[in-house]
Amino acid sequence: MADQGGFPHHMIKEIFEQARALHDTIVPRVSLDEAAVQLREVRINPEELRALRRINIVASGTSRHAGMAGQYMILELAGVQVDVDYASEFEYSNPLIGPGELTILITQSGETADTTAALREAKSKGSRTIAISNVVDSTIAREADGVIYTHAGPEISIASTKAFSAQMAALFLFALHLGQTRNKVSRDLARNYIRELLALPDKTNAVLRCAAECERLADKYHQVEDFLFLGRAIHYPIAMDGALKLKEVSYVHAEGYPTGETKHGPNALIDEALPVVIIATCDRNDPASVVRYEQNVSNIKGFKKQSGRVIALASEGDSEVSGLADHTIFIPDAPELLLPILEIVPLQLFAYYMAVRRGLDVDRPRNLVKSVTLE
Ligand code: BG6
């Protein structure tokens, strides 16, 4: 899988490998009949999982954005408080963690120095540790108490794409497993979620059909030097990663922000020169998602009044958002907690085509490396 397989760059090949990465990460671990999730390698017994008081998630870069999405999944499905930290900050924040707590280290390479240091710090303070890694027998995978491997295959491009969506799937599997272990998730709910997980690869391939549209957007916006990416709740980490992708590969400045926070400052920036990418999907079966959707519609109306240019991600068939935004990319329906895995795809494609249109070395952006093994 490590060659370019006929694609012009590893990044676009890896974006198109996401359905396979999700399939290989999810399918071996779920049983629809038993409504069960099997995470053998986690190696933390049910009693300990039931006794957990708090979970820390520590990671760097894109992997931390997966952790931010995992925070919402674990809170919703298992009712356990989660803190998410930058690995590079964790080691200096003298974290008040100890026995009875779990620290999850998310790392594609399993070799990032900051994350390795955070793992060792957490272990020295008595915390149990789980690694979510894409490289078998990597340093962090070996030293953690338990591991959940993402089966995304080798990820060559410096900007992480298929590993990221596989990390979110792995976190969802863990959250579902934890929720079942703590009797927070019924068999029916578990079975519904497993059915939705198994549908993700096909939905990911469906979203990939927006590639040509993302290429057209990149052509239209390729000279813009600044973007604002907005998302609420579990969609905020996706806004963060969409902005990071754009920065990493196209050298265009972009900021990810919680949509509700734009009125406290960033709104002063929004005019015809600063395009806004807003995640405005809606899970109609989730009342909280519907409330957030209405707020997002109101935000889009406000941005248009300020002559802002709006690129929106909306749910398929949503004519309200598409009637307001300058461009709309449609996302297939899925439960709120799984939508982020689909939403990141157009943002990855947009960043990729912006980099190509700007004539840059997409797979090897300047000043960056695939795994920062030195602190
Ligand atoms: C950066 C990579 O160097 O390290 C990012 O460019 C990645 O894509 C980050 O998210 C963390 O790496 P890892 O291997 O710990 O997930």
Q: Is residue 25 part of a domain?
A: yes
Cα-to-centroid distance, 331 and ligand 1 (Å): 26
Residues 197 and 260 in one domain: no
Domain containing residue 150? 10-203
Cα 361 to ligand 1 centre (Å): 18
The domain boundary residue, chosen from 154, 169, 203: 203
Is the residue at 3 inside a domain? Answer: no
C-alpha 234 – ligand 1 centre gap (Å): 21
Residues 159 and 284 in one domain: no
Last residue of a domain, one of 203, 226, 248: 203
The pLDDT of residue 12 is 98
User: Which of the residues in the chain have pLDDT under 70?
Assistant: 1, 94
Mutating to test ligand 1, I would choose from 14, 86, 104, 109 the residue with most ligand atoms within 8 A of its C-beta, which is 109
Question: Does 197 share its domain with 230?
Answer: no
Q: How many domains are there within the chain?
A: 2
175 and 26 together in one domain: yes
How many Å apart are CA 256 and CA 264, to the nearest integer?
14
The pLDDT of residue 303: 97
* Whether residue 218 sits in one domain with residue 185: no
* Residues 179, 273 within the same domain: no
Residue 260's CATH number: 3.40.50.10490
Same domain, 193 and 220: no
Residue in the structure block whose two tokens are 């399993």: 110
Closest atom, ligand 1, to C-alpha of 164: 10
Mutation choice for ligand 1 from 57, 106, 168, 370, CB with most ligand atoms inside 8 A: 370
pLDDT of the residue at 147: 98
Is residue 35 one of the residues assigned to a domain? yes
Domain co-membership, 159 together with 60: yes
CA of 365 to the centre of ligand 1 (A): 13
Share of the chain above pLDDT 70, in %: 99
DSSP E strands in the chain: the ranges are: 30-31, 36-37, 54-59, 81-86, 101-107, 128-133, 146-149, 226-231, 253-258, 276-280, 310-315, 327-331
**Domain shared by 35 and 161, yes or no:** yes
User: By alpha-carbon position, which residue is closest to atom 2 of ligand 1?
Assistant: 370
Query: Which of 188, 203, 218 marks a domain boundary?
Result: 203
End-to-end CA distance of the chain: 30
pLDDT at position 263 is 94
pLDDT attached to residue 132: 98
Same domain, 56 and 177: yes
Pocket of ligand 1 (CB under 6 A): 60-63, 107-109, 112, 115, 158-160, 368-372
Contact criterion met (CB below 8 Å) for 58 and 85: yes
- Closest to 303 in 3D by CA, of 281, 279, 276: 276
Identity of the residue numbered 232 = R
Phi-psi region of 265 (alpha: psi -120 to 50; beta: other; left: phi over 0): left
Same domain? 136 vs 187: yes
